[in-house]
Structure 1
């Protein structure tokens, strides 16, 4: 099994570790200290040795941070994790803080009314974060102070750095050679007057060099830094122990591999201006360039947008991966439907689904730990089942099943909500509203130039009419055998990046009633050019192509609430599910698929 079920949260250790951190703060002359979830690469998913926030507080969510003073300790989380943080942290030591409603600067001003020095590790924070916080603290007497990492100093058994192998990624699946990518991006740097760009995001480096790694569970990337020069030459910096086993493409054709300990010296030798992404580069790199007198400027990380615009080869590959994956998901759902309420657990479902994906013979990993939340566990948007939390699926429960696979030709992600036995009227009404929002995004046609923030409300409209909502974005970007969460595009009220053809996003509205049930329906979409409709007079519009083909559970739909167009969309979608997945399944699964895709 890729997924394990140990309880990773250790709230009982929180008070003692907090006390040790406060001692270290006092010794360093600090009145406060910041503990982010991020690593030096600003990754959402981090290696065991970078799980500082979880080690200190017990909170294991994929987003959040802590602020510690001598008297207070706040754990800042957004709406996805507000139930989880209360379960995973010791409430005698830590105070959950609703973020972004409560700003860090305001919390610090309240916690340190007389001012003080707040320490932070320059490798774990970006200029964007530090500049914004400094500005917000102006006039308070509170100053930010670069510091050694105090958590690392007290974490005596901290795991070492990950040592996963780095491998070549096939050019035919990438759709473009690394040399061509580097030449294209170097030309853009020259046009902008930049002599080099520092790359710190592992998925950007993996995309640029057509490599993959194994340093982060669920994400096939390697911990690395890189410098892309304006002539296409690229220096790759990795752990010295990995140098001997690198693929040939990392040591030829204009790519030079070096130990990561050589990065500071290489930065000092650059001729500026050097491009840095203010939202992802560590402050430490900015400081190293400044200390060496190397001119630098802030601008978009050069790989991010090109990586997001998938080419024809990538889209063909990921379509194949999603069809293969859909057949495995259908097999698991058919199995689940055959089980009587009260006979299987959440762990059973996770195990069965992974076995179905493994049976394809193509699964390289799961793309994230499967979310299988039944009843009240389903109300935790990012619930991870453990042996301690495992529930038996009982009559009347809803099961939120969110999962994905990593295949050489694509990264998948899909969520279905399944009734166990007979659901209640409230559950069916809420499910139907979520479905209406999901259909609205799927059917959308919009003028080019709009961003995710312009689309997000459309998915929420049916829920808003009932004074309901969900506390996460409607969709995230997704890679092709890369990270399951990929920027810069997303469907969210805070996303200002225009959607462009080739970008892949999820479409996953939901609804969560604390202590009762959760609902989420998710498909993966790719942005495409829309043909002008007969009678229309606007050219250049965009639309979505759906990549997932797994039936949406008809038993949870209040059909009378759907419009004619919504019914037609769902019937058409189910017809495509039967057409495209039918040839890939047989026996009981084929019978299940035929029943699940009947017209409304």
Structure 2
């Protein structure tokens, strides 16, 4: 009989831990590839607790349990997770290791799955726990999997070729470039386990993870440019095999750990400590290999888009912009009449995207938040939370599509009339807009990092004594992950990943400042931007700026015109003129008339 309640699941896991003579266990949202989004089989935290966010972890003991999430999920975790079973903890203020140490008995043995955590996490947690006389131990196998009786199996969907015309470079050339680096550094090989890095390196895509076109597999790339690709062989069609040629050996994915232990004795391998699980390091070292900590060599070249990828991004954005505009026109007609709720809005937007071209998937679950739901930056609507778009309310929609030539991500905030928005809403929206414009217009010297640019987007909110709790910008892949490193625009404190990364020409980032008033409304304006070279008369050194890639009208109703400077109004007018030029040829009838009005100058 399958366990239907989260209380029963928690009880079953505790009994399994007791059977294994373990006193506690840690459950992250993760898979064997340290992915942000994971396949259904790896949704262990959601199965155990009910939490459906994309970041979080849990710790449980025999008599206590806690779930740890950051500020993006403060409301969501309380809606989805039973507070009588789980304590709510906020990171980074609350430390999971500290919580375990303070609540576990002396001599307790806390288990973790080394295939779901980095070595750095395990070492740091073990050090903290040792201070409480508590031991962190590796689980021989995941105890949660032992009690998840109807756990889905990993996807068996076939992979497919990403055409070189869209990729802009052959897999052989990519492998050769990384092989040169291996030779220069005197490494025998490198382990690549991040799924988007594997897909980029081999010019393949898959459907194993929802919203991210990747396949569950690993690559070990050797100094001579050959590679061992660990993937279920049945997932590899003949056309993929022919494209890769004899230099890529296809080996069973379930043989990966054994190969690490047996094939690399005496070899020196580069392994990314942030993108590779602890078990990989342990298996290599158990087999006599030397591991050297180094960033995944595919990460930076993947982030720096080539001309073909940039052309594809512009083309996909143009189609996507028309789809979103059709949706916004529909919304302007239907919502004021009370005929739209969050679920129907998300479904209509998906329909518009499907009708615009070769949509393969959404790039993430659409954030469709009306009124107070919009105040949760990572809100995910469901039947229980679904709200009507009420007259005279704020509606936030953050969405994106996966197309063979590009990945899109856009947020628009809309006023559902018929009355004029309140002064507070217009003030906050306009401050968000001013920050968006400031970042979009900024020119910066080579060597600048995302952390150095972040304040530009927040400055006008700070002047009003308010802020937002998420980053300002993330990297975006090319028909790959919608959140792609290593670049990031955000606050630099606490060593947040990516904020110190130097920005290079060809990188794509989001520009998405926001404001959220709990229990009332949320505001965010998001476009994607491309880093390009800029020429400045008399400049000394190399300078960059942003080319805007996303073109969809921004709701003029929410703008407090008097808060904008002349330069900001000029930006608005030039942006909307470009929106009209790109989208008008794709639209007709009432939608075209709506666009004409939406793009009128301020």
TM-score, normalization by structure 2: 0.95
Helix, strand or coil at the partner of 1:526: strand
2:61 aligned to which of 54, 69, 78: 69
**Other-structure match for 1:415:** 411
1:91-110 correspondence to structure 2 within 5 Å: 91-110=83-102
1:332 to 322, 327, 334: 327
| Distance (whole Å) between structure 1 residues aligned to residue 348 and residue 575 of structure 2 | 26
Q: Output the CA distance in 1 between the equivalents of 2:446 and 2:236.
A: 44
Q: 1:219 aligns with which of 212, 219, 242?
A: 212
Q: Write out aligned runs for 1:189-200 (5 A).
A: 189-200=182-193
Aligned ranges 1:540-555 → 2 under 5 Å: 540-555=542-557
Structure-1 residue corresponding to 2:587: 585
Corresponding residue for residue 464 of structure 1: 462
Q: 2:293 aligns with which of 298, 323, 333?
A: 298
Question: Which is further off, 348-357 or 248-257?
Answer: 248-257
- Contact 1:332–1:353 (Cα < 8 Å) also in 2: yes
Q: Which residue number in structure 1 is paired with residue 361 of structure 2?
A: 365
Deviation at residue 114 of structure 1 after TM alignment: 3.0
Query: Aligned ranges for residues 278-357 of structure 1 at < 5 Å?
Result: 278-339=273-334, 340-357=336-353
Alignment of 1:207-246 (within 5 A): 207-243=200-236
Residue 7 of structure 1: aligned partner:
none
Secondary structure class of the residue paired with 1:581: helix
The alignment status of 1:562 with 2:560, answered yes or no, reads: no
For the residues of structure 2 that align with 1:477 and 1:346, how far apart are their CA atoms? 27
2-side partners of 1:490 and 1:589: how far apart? Answer: 35
- Out of 141, 146, 157, the residue aligned to residue 164 of structure 1 is 157
Contact 1:168 1:249 in 2 (8 A): no
Shift of 1:115: 5.0
1:457-484 CA distance string (max 9 Å, x none): 2211111111211111111111111111
- CA distance in structure 2 between the aligned counterparts of 1:137 and 1:299, rounded to whole angstroms: 27
Q: 1:113 offset after TM fit, Å?
A: 6.0
Q: Is the 8 A contact 1:476 1:506 kept in 2?
A: yes
Give 1:439's match in structure 2, choosing from 437, 440, 447: 437
Residues 236-275 of structure 1 correspond to what in structure 2 (within 5 A)? 236-243=229-236, 247-249=240-242, 252-267=245-260, 268-270=262-264, 271-275=266-270
Task: Give the direction of change, closer, same or farther, for the CA distance of 1:73–1:599 in structure 2 (3 Å limit).
Answer: same
Name the SS of the counterpart of 2:5 in structure 1. Answer: helix
Q: 2:387 aligns with which of 391, 408, 415?
A: 391
Q: Contact between 2:413 and 2:524, CA under 8 Å: does it hold in 1? A: yes
CA contact 1:453–1:491 (8 Å) conserved in 2: yes
Find the aligned partners of 2:31 and 2:258 in 1 and give their Cα distance. Answer: 21
The Cα RMSD (Å) is 1.6
In 1: Cα distance, 2:533 partner to 2:553 partner: 26
Q: Which residue, out of 504, 526, 530, partners 1:526?
A: 530
Structure 1 residue 575: Cα displacement:
1.1
8 Å Cα contact 1:243/1:259 also seen in 2: no
Q: 1:183 to 1:152 in 2, by over 3 A?
A: same
In structure 2, the residue corresponding to 1:44 is in which secondary structure? coil
Q: Distance in 1 between matches of 2:242 and 2:192?
A: 18
User: Aligned pair in 2 of structure 1 residues 246, 30: CA closer, same or farther (>3 Å)?
Assistant: farther
Alignment of 1:132-211 (within 5 A): 132-147=124-139, 148-211=141-204
The answer (yes or no) to whether the contact 1:129–1:279 under 8 Å persists in 2 is no
Q: Which moved more, 1:297-306 or 1:355-364?
A: 355-364
Cα distance in 2 for residues equivalent to 1:209 and 1:273: 23
Structure 1 residue 313, shift from structure 2 partner = 0.9
Determine the C-alpha separation between the residues in 1 that align with 2:214 and 2:98: 36
Contact preservation (8 Å) 2:129, 2:136: no
In the aligned structure 2, how far is the partner of 1:69 from the partner of 1:476? 36
1:386-435 Cα distance to aligned partner (Å, 9 max, x none): 22222111112111011111111001010000000132221111111111
> Separation in 2 of the partners of 1:136 and 1:526?
42
Q: Does 1:82 align with 2:74?
A: yes
Q: CA deviation at 1:250?
A: 6.2
Q: Is the 8 A contact 2:159 2:236 kept in 1?
A: no
Question: What are the superposed Cα offsets for residues 550-574 of structure 1, whole Å, 9 maximum, x if unpaired?
Answer: 0111100111111222111111111
1:135 Cα offset (Å): 3.4
1:226–1:235 contact (8 Å) kept in structure 2: yes
Shift in Å, 1:328: 0.7
Unaligned runs of 5+ in 1: 1-10
1:478-493 equivalences under 5 Å are 478-493=476-491
Name the SS for the 1:216 alignment partner. coil
CA distance in 1, matches of 2:321, 2:91: 36
* Alpha-carbon separation, structure 2, partners of 1:244 and 1:220: 16
SS in structure 1 at match of 2:67: strand
- The one-character-per-residue Cα deviations of 1:105-134 (angstroms, maximum 9, x if unpaired) are 222222226352210001111112112223
Post-superposition, which runs of at least 4 consecutive aligned residues in structure 1 deviate over 4 A?
Answer: 243-246
Q: Confirm whether residue 539 of structure 1 aligns to residue 541 of structure 2.
A: yes
Alignment partner of 1:59 is 2:51? yes
